[in-house]
């Protein structure tokens, strides 16, 4: 993939700009990188804290040749790329299904994938936020989030980390686009995630919450969950929370 990076000092949302570029006919590999976002967003319309120079705010235009049912694997592929980017920096991350990268259960990165119809066909816009510094974290996330600087004790710029991220992104996107790509990306994701198998979790769905033990992935990247009654649930979308043992039993 040929990467073309468009840099902005300040922008509303890198995903919004990438969607605009895709509709204007941008080729696969066009990346939007901003120093600050005024309307950064995560899944379900949540706000992504995007103070100036505090993070990598990055979105890319992809035009995958995957079958529609495999498109959710684009998010998992990006999770693997972010995971390995952080490994190269000396961090030991974990991936929580479906789009969070954690360090010691604290969030360091999130991913947001959106699809858009364009004159060149369907495009997938994948946004990545990586916390580089934690100095300006708002109080509500200070105890549940972390940053690259906190973990490695030194600062890294968004330019430096974007070079590493695009390298891993290109590598794993090539794998996903290959003949056996969906299977290989599921395998790579499961190797890197403690949440893939055997994790006691609570999953918050739109109208209910269910608990159980994770049991791997479906072919499209959906999460399999075994309930206490022995039922197998397939989760296409939801918020996953780790359940910690009750010390009182």
Summarised one tens digit per residue, pLDDT across range 93-150 is 999 999 999 999 999 999 999 999 999 999 999 999 999 998 777 777 778 899 999 9
On the question of pLDDT at 169 being above 80, the answer is yes
pTM recorded for the entire structure: 0.91
- Determine contact, residues 152/90, Cβ cutoff 8 Å: yes
Cα 18 from Cα 113, distance rounded (Å): 11
Q: Is residue 247 part of a domain?
A: no
Q: Is residue 55 part of a domain?
A: yes
CATH number of the domain that residue 226 is part of:
2.30.30.100
Question: Looking at the 3D structure of the chain, how many domains does it have?
Answer: 2
On the question of pLDDT at 248 being above 50, the answer is no
Q: What is the pLDDT of residue 247?
A: 44
Q: What is the pLDDT of residue 48?
A: 54
Domain holding 225, by residue range, is 197-242
On the question of pLDDT at 182 being above 60, the answer is yes
Q: Specify the range with the lowest mean pLDDT, choosing from 38-47, 103-112, 179-188.
A: 38-47
Residue 26 binned pLDDT confidence (cut-offs 50, 70, 90)? very high
Residue 54 binned pLDDT confidence (cut-offs 50, 70, 90)? confident
Q: What is the pLDDT of residue 135?
A: 75
Q: Is residue 248 part of a domain?
A: no
Q: What is the pLDDT of residue 249?
A: 41
- 38-46, Cβ contacts within 8 angstroms, sequence gap of 24 or more: 38/10, 38/11, 38/12, 38/13, 39/12, 39/13, 40/13, 40/14, 40/129, 41/13, 41/15, 41/112, 42/110, 42/112, 42/129, 43/99, 43/110, 43/112
Residue 36 binned pLDDT confidence (cut-offs 50, 70, 90)? confident
pLDDT digits (tens, 9 = 90+) for 152-167: 999 999 999 999 999 9
Q: What is the pLDDT of residue 142?
A: 74
Same domain, 150 and 36: yes
Average pLDDT over residues 212-224: 96
Same domain, 173 and 231: no
Q: Is residue 128 part of a domain?
A: yes
Query: Cβ–Cβ contacts within 10 Å for residue 188, how many?
Result: 20
Across the chain, what does the average pLDDT equal? 91
Q: Is residue 27 part of a domain?
A: yes
On the question of pLDDT at 47 being above 90, the answer is no
Q: What is the pLDDT of residue 89?
A: 97
- 155-162, Cβ contacts within 8 angstroms, sequence gap of 24 or more: 156/89, 156/132, 157/132, 158/33, 158/35, 158/53, 158/55, 158/56, 158/57, 158/58, 158/132, 161/56, 161/85, 161/89, 161/130, 161/132, 162/5, 162/31, 162/33, 162/56, 162/58
Residue 168 binned pLDDT confidence (cut-offs 50, 70, 90)? very high
CATH number of the domain that residue 82 is part of:
3.30.930.10
Same domain, 113 and 216: no
Report the share of the chain in percent with pLDDT over 90.
79
């Amino acid at each position: 993939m040929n990467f073309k990076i468009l840099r902005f000092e300040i922008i509303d949302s890198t995903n919004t700009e990438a969607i605009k570029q895709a509709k204007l006919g941008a080729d696969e590999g066009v990346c939007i990188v901003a120093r600050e976002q005024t309307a950064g967003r995560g899944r379900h319309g949540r706000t992504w804290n995007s103070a100036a120079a505090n993070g990598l705010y990055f979105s890319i235009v992809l035009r995958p040749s995957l079958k529609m049912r495999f498109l959710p694997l684009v998010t998992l592929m990006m999770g693997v790329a972010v995971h390995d980017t952080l490994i190269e920096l000396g961090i030991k991350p974990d991936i929580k299904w479906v789009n969070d990268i954690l360090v010691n259960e604290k969030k360091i990165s999130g991913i947001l994938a959106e699809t858009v119809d364009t004159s060149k066909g369907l495009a997938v816009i994948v946004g990545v936020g990586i916390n580089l510094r934690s100095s300006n974290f708002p109080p509500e996330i200070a105890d549940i989030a972390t940053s690259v600087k906190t973990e490695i004790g030194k600062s890294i710029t968004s330019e430096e980390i974007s070079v590493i991220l695009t390298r891993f992104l290109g590598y794993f996107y090539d794998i996903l686009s290959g003949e056996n790509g969906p299977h290989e990306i599921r395998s790579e994701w499961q190797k890197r995630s403690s949440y893939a198998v055997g994790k006691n979790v609570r999953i918050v769905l739109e109208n209910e919450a269910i608990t159980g033990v994770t049991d791997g992935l479906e072919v499209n990247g959906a999460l399999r969950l075994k309930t206490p009654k022995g039922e197998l649930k397939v989760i296409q979308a939801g918020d996953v929370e780790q359940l910690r043992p009750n010390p009182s039993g």
